[in-house]
């Protein structure tokens, strides 16, 4: 099969490697598509993703894959041949791939999912709990967006944001737009969105933001305090820029929380809380729990089925597998406005 590899020098190349082998508790899938993650994939290409030091490269890239089951192990009952499934991966395998490691391997022509019910209790890999079957009323290619939706919904629950809260969101890209839509669906009272791109701010209004501002041309603190004089309950960084932490200090109420989603480019920051209230919390959600993601699946499916969520609202570009280098070039140039998807 073909797979997209990030080399030790950070270049992208397509290699021919063996199709992964499955055991009795796994299913083999032929990939349908894989979403381009503006955060994880880009950082892996730049060799700046936490937990992936340069010595583990080269790696197989991609973590937002969708595939069609083509073979099942003897103990598998969760999957059947023909099922469309979320989150197939390709694991590192010395016998098959030598020193080629895995950055989840979603940009491969084949991948593997686990059936957690086939394992003794407590022994299933955690990824299995988010490897789920896609209903037939959802387009298989567009279903890759569900992976992001579940990550976001599970993170909202982990942060503790609830109905009636007041939230300032920084970043209105695909992840930020998803946060905005879900926060309003869940009953957030005041939702203030910031970005530096006017088109993204217009999208944020459509997704449910009550107020939008270009933070490159306004006094952020003045605007937030005008709407919420005592400060917001939460500042949410949907970009992964550590400077937002310090900016958020002057925006939260006493007892408020600054929430950072995703892996930051740097793993350190100088935190200045001189503008913060006396009591505050800083919380990072860098790697959502797959079990928590899986637990959000049915709620997401319900919103899609009843029309509350339209996956195409979050997708801007489709690329053929043969044009992966061009897709990542477009990503680097910020030419992908929402979610881009690689289609096999």
**Pair 222, 321 in one domain:** no
Those residues whose C-beta lies under 8 Å from the C-beta of residue 214, and which sit 6 or more positions away, are 194, 195, 196, 198, 201
The answer to whether 290 and 266 are in contact (CB under 8 A) is no
What pLDDT is attached to residue 119? Answer: 95
Same domain for 122 and 184: no
In a domain, 290, yes or no: no
Q: 69 and 27, same structural domain?
A: yes
**In a shared domain, residues 160 and 235:** yes
Same domain, 117 and 231: no
- Residue 304 pLDDT: 97
Domain identity same for 125 and 159? no
Indicate if 158 and 265 belong to the same structural domain: yes
User: How far apart, in Å, are the Cα atoms of 86 and each of 3, 150, 273, 334?
Assistant: 18, 11, 41, 26
pLDDT at position 61 is 97
* Max CA pair span of the chain: 62
DSSP alpha helices (H): ranges in 83-197?
Answer: 94-97, 145-159, 174-185
Which pLDDT belongs to residue 260?
A: 93
Residues 6+ apart with CB under 8 A from 82: 68, 69
* Position 295 in a domain: no
Q: Are 127 and 204 part of one and the same domain?
A: no
3-state percent helix, strand, coil for the chain, nearest multiple of 5: 30, 25, 40
pLDDT reading at 147 higher than 80:
yes
Q: Is 169 domain-assigned?
A: yes
Residue 224 pLDDT exceeds 90: yes
pLDDT score, position 287: 81
Domains identified in the chain, total number: 2
pLDDT of residue 60: 98
In whole angstroms, give the CA distance from residue 34 to residue 320.
10
pLDDT (tens digit, 9 = 90+) per residue, 66-125?
999 999 999 999 999 999 999 999 999 999 999 999 999 999 999 999 999 999 998 999
* CA 191 – CA 46 distance, rounded (Å): 33
- How far apart (Å, rounded) are the C-alpha atoms in residues 142 and 317? 11
Q: Is residue 109 part of a domain?
A: yes
Position 319 scores a pLDDT of: 97
What percent of the chain clears pLDDT 70, i.e. is strictly above it? 99
pLDDT at 157: 96
Strands 232-237 and 252-261: parallel
Q: Where are the beta strands (DSSP E) in 63-218?
A: 64-72, 84-86, 101-102, 110-114, 166-170, 190-195, 211-214
Q: At what angle do helices 145-159 and 174-185 cross, to 10 degrees?
A: 60
Residues 224 and 186 in one domain: yes
Q: Note whether residue 275 is domain-resident.
A: yes
CA 126: distance to chain centroid?
Answer: 17
The residue range of the domain holding 265 is 152-285
d(CA 199, CA 201): 5
| Domain assignment present for 229 | yes
Residues 6 and 125 both lie in one domain: yes
What CATH number has the domain bearing residue 247?
3.40.50.720
| pLDDT tens per residue, range 257-270 | 999 997 776 778 88
What CATH number did the domain enclosing 60 receive?
3.90.180.10
Task: Give the closest residue to 15 by CA, choosing from 98, 95, 87.
Answer: 98
The pLDDT, as a whole number, for residue 173 is 87
Is the same domain home to 281 and 156?
yes
State the pLDDT at residue 235.
Answer: 98
- Per-residue pLDDT averaged across 314-337, rounded? 92
- Beta strand 339-343 pairing with 315-320: parallel
Please report the pLDDT score of residue 106 as a whole number: 97
Quote the pLDDT of residue 239.
86
Q: What percent of the chain has pLDDT over 90?
A: 88
Residue among 132, 101, 102 nearest 27 (CA): 132
* Rounded-to-integer distance, Cα 252 and Cα 193, Å: 14
Going by pLDDT thresholds of 50, 70 and 90, the confidence category of residue 315 is very high
Model confidence pLDDT, tens digit, residues 282-304: 999 888 889 999 999 999 999 99
Residue 298 burial (CB count, 10 A) = 10
Could you identify the residue written with the tokens 């099969």? Answer: 1
Q: What is the mean pLDDT of residues 214-237?
A: 97
Task: Reduce the DSSP state of residue 30 to 3 states and report it.
Answer: strand
């Amino acid at each position: 099969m073909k797979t997209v590899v990030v080399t030790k020098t950070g270049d992208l190349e397509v290699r021919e490697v063996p199709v992964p082998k499955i055991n009795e508790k796994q299913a083999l899938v032929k990939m349908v598509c894989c979403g381009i993650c503006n955060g994880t994939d880009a950082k892996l290409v730049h060799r700046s993703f936490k937990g992936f030091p340069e010595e583990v490269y080269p790696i197989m890239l991609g973590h937002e894959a969708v595939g069609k089951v083509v073979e099942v192990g003897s103990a598998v009952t969760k999957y059947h041949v023909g099922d469309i499934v979320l989150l197939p991966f390709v694991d590192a395998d010395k016998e098959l791939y030598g020193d080629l490691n895995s950055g989840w391997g979603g940009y491969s022509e084949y991948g593997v999912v686990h059936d957690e019910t086939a394992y003794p209790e407590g022994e299933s890999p955690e990824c299995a709990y988010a490897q789920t079957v896609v209903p037939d009323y959802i387009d298989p290619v567009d279903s890759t967006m569900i992976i992001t939706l579940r990550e976001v919904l599970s993170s909202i629950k982990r942060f503790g944001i609830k109905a009636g809260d007041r939230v300032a969101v920084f970043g209105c890209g695909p992840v930020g737009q998803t946060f905005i839509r879900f926060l309003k669906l869940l009953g957030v009272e005041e939702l203030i969105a910031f970005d530096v791109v006017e088109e993204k701010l217009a999208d944020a209004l459509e997704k449910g933001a009550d107020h939008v501002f270009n933070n490159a041309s306004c006094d952020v603190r003045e605007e937030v305090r005008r709407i919420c004089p005592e400060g917001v309950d939460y500042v949410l960084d949907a970009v992964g820029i550590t400077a937002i932490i310090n900016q958020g200090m002057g925006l939260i109420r006493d007892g408020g929380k600054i929430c950072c989603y995703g892996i930051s480019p740097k793993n350190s920051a100088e935190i200045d809380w001189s503008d913060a209230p006396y009591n505050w919390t800083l919380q990072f959600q860098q790697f959502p729990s797959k079990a928590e993601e899986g637990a959000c699946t049915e709620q997401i499916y319900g919103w899609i089925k009843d029309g509350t969520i339209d996956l195409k609202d979050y997708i801007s570009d489709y690329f053929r597998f043969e044009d992966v280098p061009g897709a990542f070039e477009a990503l680097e140039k910020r030419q992908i406005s929402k979610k881009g998807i690689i289609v096999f």
